[in-house]
Chains A and B, each alone.
Chain A
């Protein structure tokens, strides 16, 4: 008997702790199994509850069978919002594995990502406010993004195309009451990250992001192998040890260089690659890019305008203060800031990581001003 998934409480560090529990409450579900029935009706549905992803109190995001949790190694900064992620395959649908490209998904697949703010960042057990749930829906061979805004009672989320600004209260790590503006993106803004070569893409579901250990059933297990055990793949993926793996950019694993490259991939490469929104900058932040000039070393900025901040190169080895990328990561000015959308809070730890990475590079004489 395959165990169902139940979500129990809020884990340490603000992350959702996903734990396995027996699926006693799902026994009556005709669509139980590794996949769920395709939601009926023309997509997008107006209410999130109509998709029937969760059981119990909706905001607790306790997935029904076939709503399979996943996480990524190097997540995109989202103003310190937490994220809960799930894959929902249509009945009988399988994922086509790729070691170095996008995984393929059958029509009817829905990727679910819920964004939340912990009430008290010192105490994740104190719960969280659920803000929005984003869906990527696979239809006719293409992804399409939708956003659902939760009501204040957190009983229902409703389709919202035009975006919204929310004021969110929380207690910060110093115990101070804070209010922060959080931006629910409009549907065009979904494309600004997810579109590449005129096609919407899923971003996190690539091998190096997924190839990590996750806690399942109280044990740390390789995520791709666990997903394979759940029957999600068409065929058997290669051994995890043979596959590229990003590391937690803020974690203890991996070299400084690989942590930085993992971070830049997760936070920048969706635009900064050929065909991406910033492809025309010539600056490529794929972690697999091997040409230092392409990932910014001594690279002259293209049309950066004031975003260059008077600095000569995207990355000046050994000199973070003169590196444009650090300047742009460390700004909230809409003209300067990177990523462009839609953060309202600087990722201070990410800035520190990239600072340390650049500072550790040996100075490059080719990069010195003429």
Chain B
């Protein structure tokens, strides 16, 4: 029964594709190629077309292995039920679905592989499809150059479930990451995660119902713009963590984003760093330097809109990494629009801010590296031009002794970042 319905779906799609080819008229001869005597006419630009069915995984993997640089492997409309991790190892290969809402890779039954899709080739693009219900991570990019996620979704339907996978988009150790027009829903760690990477652009994308909507971890020169992070535990995290080979991420630029109502309970795995993040956070900078957050709309995050903290051993796990710089310095938070943040801070925020309630739009822990001189102000965290936003330096490193709400103490500037476009 299952098999025949898959075949039925396949044949319907062949008809649909043929119809669309015939409408493209004169292009057919150049771009369309027949796949043997009986195969479907290939859509324009496709080196191979894979349709749902019992052998779809093997066919798709084989087509991806055979693809030459510059070639595109296409997947037709329909739901593909995969039990194995799909891998893309060739350089310059594109995997293209028939549309984000039309081509669904469903990994509910997956038994092998830590990711739904694992990309190990350079210059790979994945586009126009959805990956859903992976037991582990969604789409991993593993130490590659120039990986692109374009018009891709990763979803887990259950809300706040411990069964959901950890990361949606999961590029690690990459040089050149582009994520655009994409969506992640339901990750129990970070939806859009970029780790130990550089030269990153995330734009026009959306993340909700994740613990962290977006996380840049030990990542340098990332730009995030025109994104919508809402209804996560925390919206956008810029973190440096100890014990990783790539250290000292810096210079993330965030602008023209809407970061709102990130108030859902934290359902992260206890023991992970994001599980320590209290609900109600818009932006959070942890132990990262020289980041710029400007021209964003930050609203309705009940703990705070923006918080900058060092890697406090009171808040985070102990570690052993002599090279790790725990301080967050030289960050530049300016010209954002804030409203309705800090209205009901989570207990952890109340704990570190001496119970100040309501809280503030912008929080700074005020901890500075005692071993570094800051005569030129390069290490200062600056918060100018944020309209009527409220501010609190809670002076964590001196037991709240020098707490201040005075914005004049942080009215400074840094050289703006250029970012990637």
Contacts and interface: CB of A to CB of B under 8 A. Distances in A.
Interface string A266-290: 0000000010010111100000000
A299 B245 contact: no
Given A300-B317, A335-B166, A310 B271 contact: yes
A369 interface: yes
6 contacts: A162-B65, A186-B87, A300-B318, A309-B271, A312-B318, A369-B318
Max count, chain B CB within 10 A of own CB: residue among A195, A280, A310, A367: A280
Interface of B: 58, 61-62, 65, 84-85, 87, 89, 110-114, 118, 120, 135-137, 142-143, 162, 165-167, 172-173, 188-189, 193, 195-196, 217, 241-246, 269-273, 313-314, 317-321
A333 B137 CA distance: 12
A161 B65 contact: yes
A189 B113 CA distance: 10
A342 B85 CA distance: 10
B112 A334 contact: yes
B112 A282 contact: no
A299 B114 contact: no
A299 B195 CA distance: 18
A191 B243 contact: no
A304 B272 contact: yes
A311 B314 contact: no
A220 interface: no
A31 interface: no
Contacts of A340: 113-114
Nearest to B195: A303
B136 A280 contact: no
Interface in A317-357: 324, 333-335, 337, 340-342, 344
Contacts of B195: 280, 302-303
Given A298-B318, A298-B320, A308-B272, A335 B165 contact: yes
A30 to B, nearest CB: 36
Contacts of B112: 183, 334, 341-342, 344
A311 B275 CA distance: 12
Contact of A305 (B89, B188, B243, B321): B188
Given A188-B65, A335-B114, A306 B269 contact: yes
A163 interface: yes
B243 A300 contact: yes
Given A162-B65, A305-B167, A306-B165, 13 more contacts: A161-B65, A162-B62, A163-B61, A277-B142, A280-B245, A312-B318, A333-B135, A334-B85, A335-B135, A335-B166, A340-B114, A366-B320, A370-B314
B88 to A, nearest CB: 8
Nearest to B89: A188
A278 to B, nearest CB: 10
Contacts of A162: 58, 61-62, 65
B90 to A, nearest CB: 9
Contact of B317 (A188, A191, A303, A313): A313
